[in-house]
Amino acid sequence: MTSADTPRVLHVVGSPRGEASVSTRVARAFLDAYAQTRPGHEVTTLDVWTADLPRFDGDLAIAKLAPLVGETRTPQQEAGWARVERVVADFARHDKIVISAPMWNFGLPWELKHYIDLLVQPGLSFGMNEALEHVGLLADRPVQLVLTRSSPLPEGSPEDFQLPYLRHILGFIGLHDVRSLVVEGTTLRPAAREELVAKHCDRARAAAADF
Ligand SMILES: Cc1cc2nc3c(=O)[nH]c(=O)nc-3n(C[C@H](O)[C@H](O)[C@H](O)COP(=O)(O)O)c2cc1C
């Protein structure tokens, strides 16, 4: 099925709660509806909690900044950096991105933030123009966010470090076509929760038509 021009969709799973995850379930409804109308498209899942990702540690933080400050990476840092390059290249080869994630302490779960720390790299996903302004280096492509949280927050709330952060960091690397589907009030007893999930799965299926 895979060919050079087969459209590729990447689903980045940000919740570690497996089948219990509302964000993953709603994102899957989105992707199932998407796949039904685009049977040739390839959909790949990257669960940031189980994927074999390099750990963005001190060596990688040094490797990230080394070229900017005229330092040479050690062989170990070069080897680590090669793994980071592969993470960015793998993300970049997808034509469309779906990110599903809960709010954790007003922001993102740490493994998803860690994945972002791997993706956002000078010379790979962002750079500088002649006016020394940051520019995203990735080609723009549609991104669908499926975000969950227990407590409803008004749009634009200063307490929301989930949706605005994702919009900002994706824009920083060049991705501006960001759509969002937010599911709030998820801490419910099972019957009410299933009703909420079913309602938002319907919204997700409708949104998939334009993705
Ligand atoms: C560690 C942790 C921190 C959380 N922090 C928040 C929060 O700051 N605001 C909020 O509204 N809900 C918070 N929640 C609730 C989750 O966002 C909510 O249960 C969400 O629906 C879980 O999504 P999931 O089922 O996809 O994992 C938190 C949950 C956990 C486990």
- pLDDT per position as a tens digit, 17-71: 999 999 999 999 999 999 999 999 999 999 999 999 999 999 999 999 999 899 9
Q: What percent of the chain has pLDDT over 70?
A: 98
**CATH code for the domain in which residue 86 is found:** 3.40.50.360
| Total domains, the chain | 1
Average pLDDT over residues 1-21: 88
162 part of a folded domain: yes
In angstroms, the CA 142 to CA 130 distance is: 27
Q: Which domain holds residue 123?
A: 8-208
Please list, in sequence order, all residues whose beta carbon lies within 8 angstroms of the beta carbon of residue 93, skipping any fewer than 6 positions away. Answer: 8
Phi then psi for residue 116, to 5 deg, are -65, -40
139 CA → ligand 1 middle, Å: 31
Residue in 23, 98, 103 to alter for ligand 1 test, most ligand atoms within 8 A of Cβ: 103
Angle at 211 between CA 186 and CA 108, to 5 degrees: 40
129 in Cβ contact with 163 (< 8 Å): no
43 part of a folded domain: yes
Measured from the CA of 17, which atom of ligand 1 is nearest? Answer: 27
1 part of a folded domain: no
114 part of a folded domain: yes
Average pLDDT over residues 154-158: 94
Q: What is the dihedral of CA 84, 88, 89, 94, to 10 degrees?
A: 150
191 part of a folded domain: yes
User: Which residue's CA is minimally distant from atom 19 of ligand 1?
Assistant: 150
Instruction: Output the ligand 1 site: residues, CB below 6 A.
Output: 15, 17, 21-24, 102-106, 148-151, 186-187
22 part of a folded domain: yes
